[in-house]
Amino acid sequence: MSRKTVREALNAALDEEMRRDEHVIVMGCDVGLKGNPFGVTLGLAKKYGLDRVIDTPISEPAFTGMGVGAAATGMRPVVEIMFCDWVTLASDQIINMAAKMRYMFGGKVEMPLVIRVPMGAGGGQAAQHSQSLEAWFNHIPGLKIVAPYYPADCKGLLKAAIRDDNPVLFFENKRCYSVKDEVPDDEDWITPIGKARVVREGSQVTLVTYSSMVKVCLDAAQELADEGISCEVIDLRTLLPLDYETVIASLEKTGRIAVVHEAATRGGMGSDIVAELCERAFDLLDAPPLRVGALNVPLPYNESMEAAVLPDKENVKEAVYRLLSND
């Protein structure tokens, strides 16, 4: 085990998979010589050359389409969209091509494509550089979606995504790149896609979350514990497929649940998860399930206003109080 930041863990995953399999390539704006704006691909071009770590023109539709074509013809490309907001430009290639080709060709064409999508707000980057759009793609059959928080999961899930024969959208929160924790050094160690993890045991309320909100929920749970309130925190890690077995097992204990994410509340992952739970486990609910997310407004440039829009631990605690007020 080594202590690594999320940035270092992602870099290690790419390095190990490129060394293991010569078909793995990386492409995107500034991923090569500059090592990407966040340092995730730093040093890879020097190791593997610019024919495998490819600096592309600033055209998300073009280089995402290149990735789709490369995946369909035997390569295992990792495409980077520099900011989540710009994944909209490549939506045709992702939704109409990558997600559907394996099905439309009867399985004769595989699509081992990973699209890394740095998401999230913070630092006053304004409305066009701060969004979290993972729920948009949850609607699309044929895709897998992961959104880890811990460095070990970032490494393990990226390796699993690269080895998968289906298209995987890999959402990583920009504010989490400096999060540091223990990471396994074993090059064959992966985190399985589709498995959530209970990161804090509890008995009264279940908090279901992912990505940057894992820390927010854990902080809220600790403060609530000081008040005598016991919260269980589940890090989903994977959004599609989603591990409802783990979520429902927790709900059986607590009877109360809130889904917490950084994305805007309306139409977010929380809406779909709550709907599924109402269909699958309605009899387990002792209170109406709640959603905690950002306000339904564009992300402001002003950092004080931005903070007011994003969910924080006080919002999580208020949701827990509401759930318990139904006693």
Catalytic residue from among 60, 232, 262, 306: 60
Catalytic residue from among 8, 129, 232, 262: 129
Distance CA 212, CA 90 (A): 24
Task: With CA atoms as reference, report the closest residue to 119 among 269, 292, 229.
Answer: 269
160 φ, ψ (degrees, to nearest 5): -65, -40
Task: With CA atoms as reference, report the closest residue to 1 among 121, 150, 107.
Answer: 150
Q: Across-strand partners of 3?
A: 182
Is residue 173 a contact partner of residue 120, using CB atoms and an 8 Å limit? yes
Residue ranges of alpha helices (H) inside the chain are 6-20, 44-48, 60-72, 91, 101-104, 134-138, 151-163, 213-226, 244-254, 269-280, 303-309, 313-324
Concerning whether 23 is annotated as a catalytic residue, the answer is: no
Is residue 235 a contact partner of residue 205, using CB atoms and an 8 Å limit? no
Residue 269 in tokens: 């992952």
Is residue 183 a contact partner of residue 233, using CB atoms and an 8 Å limit? no
Residues 6+ apart with CB under 8 A from 240: 137, 138, 143, 144, 145
Concerning whether 232 is annotated as a catalytic residue, the answer is: no
Position 39: which residue type? G
DSSP state of 264: E
The pairs formed by 22-26 with CB atoms below 8 angstroms and a separation of 24 or more are 22/52, 23/74, 23/75, 23/76, 24/52, 24/75, 24/76, 24/77, 24/78, 24/162, 25/52, 25/53, 25/54, 25/70, 25/75, 25/76, 25/77, 25/78, 26/52, 26/53, 26/54, 26/77, 26/78, 26/80
Which residues does the annotation mark as catalytic? 60, 129
